[in-house]
Amino acid sequence: MSRQTSVALRYDTRLPAPLVIARGKGDLADRLVTLAREHGIPVVESHGLAESLYGTDPGDLIPERFYQAVAEILGFVWRSSTAETGENKKVWDENYQGQ
Q: What is the pLDDT of residues 32-86, one digit of tens each?
A: 999 999 988 889 989 999 999 999 999 999 999 999 999 999 888 887 765 445 5
User: What global pTM score does this model have?
Assistant: 0.77
Flag whether 19 is in a domain.
yes
Start-to-end Cα distance in the chain = 30
Nearest CA to 75 out of 56, 97, 93, 46 is that of 97
CB 28 within 8 A of CB 75: no
Q: What is the CATH number of the domain that holds 27?
A: 3.40.1690.10
Distance, in Å, from the CA atom of 4 to the CA atom of 26, rounded to the nearest integer, reads: 5
Asked, for residue 92, whether it belongs to a domain, the answer is no
Specify if 31 maps to a domain: yes
Q: Classify residue 68: in a domain, yes or no.
A: yes
